[in-house]
Amino acid sequence: MKALLLEEINGPLLLKDLPTPEPGPGEVLLRVKACAVDQFDLKIRSGKVPHARPPIILGHEIAGEVAALGPGVTTWTVGQRVTSTLYLTCGRCRKCQIGRETICENFVGYLGIQTPGGYAEYTTVPELNLVELPESIPFSQGAILANAIGTPLHAFTKRMRLQPGERIIITGAGGGVGLHAIQLACMMGAMVMAVDLGPAKLKAARENGADLAVDPTEQNVADVARDWTGGQGVEAILELTGAATIPTNLEALGKGGRMVIVGFHTGSEFSVQASQMVANEWEILGSRNVTKRELAEVVALVQAGRINPVISGVHRLEEAEAIHARLGRQEISGRVVLEI
């Protein structure tokens, strides 16, 4: 099979002809049709993901067709269209049993790190991870459902409990996850203040429903938020960026506010006064990716046209290197997908 192989940290993505993998017990062989490109792929290449050691086939956002079944697989048939969650989980522990598999007690890792990923014609995926993809959703969209749409769905519904009429700040709003977070927040009846860098990302944020869009290098986010809310502060913050934006955001968080942290690209340490937490009854929560059940909910929302997957480009596998370079220069808003 054709595959892109990363043989060393900071090395190139090499187009190789490799043996097609055999699905093990509980796994299916997928004919990969589409695989999304994520900033996390760049992090792996640069050696910043400690447990990711080359040689690796990258790609953890995968949609495709079931091509063969491993021993014991009975829930899928060859030819079915599927999309997949990203995490390798045990399916048996207490957390997995209650539908919180993103915090599996026996967490194994990620597709595209602990297993060969989707920058290839074929890959193997545990049957546990798969959700059926209807004919009406193209594979290119199918590839981005779990990470780019499922991540904010989980954050809003299970962690933040976002309510109609609430006002929310979304940082990193012009990125692949951010644009879908805006759409979801609007669908749930919230008003959105989008925060990101540069006119292209702010324009994309407005086009996806943001009520206002702010560049923190041009305006003080907390001042704008206070004005926007008549001095009250916002009810919610979705933090997709990391520690760099948290202190300013907390100045904008009103009484009873909830901040849900999803991203930590810009660092993970911040401080907060315990007295402020108490006086304001703040909730500061973490949120991790998406469960399989929520991925099925995302499929339903996209199928019904309630959420519109934003894909800024579809490219061939051979173009991955050029796409990574553009992503590294922050030139891409929304998700880019490789069709294979």
User: What residues make contact with Zn ion under the rule CB under 5 A?
Assistant: 89-90, 93, 96, 104, 106
Kindly report the three-state secondary structure assignment for every residue of the chain: CEEEEECCCCCCEEEEECCCCCCCCCEEEEEEEEEEECHHHHHHHCCCCCCCCCCECCCCEEEEEEEEECCCCCCCCCCCEEEECCEECCCCCHHHHCCCHHHCCCCCEEECCCECCCCECEEEEEHHHEEECCCCCCHHHHCCHHHHHHHHHHHHHHHHCCCCCCEEEEECCCCHHHHHHHHHHHHCCCEEEEECCCHHHHHHHHHCCCCEEECCCCCCHHHHHHHHCCCCCEEEEEECCCHHHHHHHHHCEEEEEEEEECCCCCCCCCCCCHHHHHHHCCEEEECCCCCHHHHHHHHHHHHCCCCCCCEEEEEEHHHHHHHHHHHHCCCCCCEEEEEC
Cis ω for the linkage preceding 23 (within 30 of 0) = no
Give the nearest distance from C-beta 102 to Zn ion in angstroms: 10
Euclidean distance between CA atoms 203 and 144, whole angstroms? 21
Please identify, using beta-carbon distances, which residue of 75 and 106 lies nearer to Zn ion: 106
Torsional sign, CA 142, 83, 92, 50: negative
Please identify, using beta-carbon distances, which residue of 100 and 326 lies nearer to Zn ion: 100
Give the nearest distance from C-beta 154 to Zn ion in angstroms: 16
Contact 84, 118 (CB under 8 A): no
Give the nearest distance from C-beta 111 to Zn ion in angstroms: 16
**What type of residue sits at position 78?**
V
Give the nearest distance from C-beta 27 to Zn ion in angstroms: 17
Please identify, using beta-carbon distances, which residue of 21 and 126 lies nearer to Zn ion: 126
Please identify, using beta-carbon distances, which residue of 1 and 93 lies nearer to Zn ion: 93
Please identify, using beta-carbon distances, which residue of 15 and 103 lies nearer to Zn ion: 103
Please identify, using beta-carbon distances, which residue of 96 and 337 lies nearer to Zn ion: 96
Give the nearest distance from C-beta 107 to Zn ion in angstroms: 7
Give the nearest distance from C-beta 94 to Zn ion in angstroms: 8
Give the nearest distance from C-beta 93 to Zn ion in angstroms: 3
Please identify, using beta-carbon distances, which residue of 91 and 198 lies nearer to Zn ion: 91
What phi and psi, each to the nearest 5 degrees, are found at residue 82? -140, 155
Tokens at residue 315, please?
Answer: 């490219």
Give the nearest distance from C-beta 126 to Zn ion in angstroms: 12
Q: Are strands 27-37 and 13-17 parallel, antiparallel or unpaired?
A: unpaired
Give the nearest distance from C-beta 295 to Zn ion in angstroms: 17
Please identify, using beta-carbon distances, which residue of 265 and 288 lies nearer to Zn ion: 288
Please identify, using beta-carbon distances, which residue of 58 and 96 lies nearer to Zn ion: 96
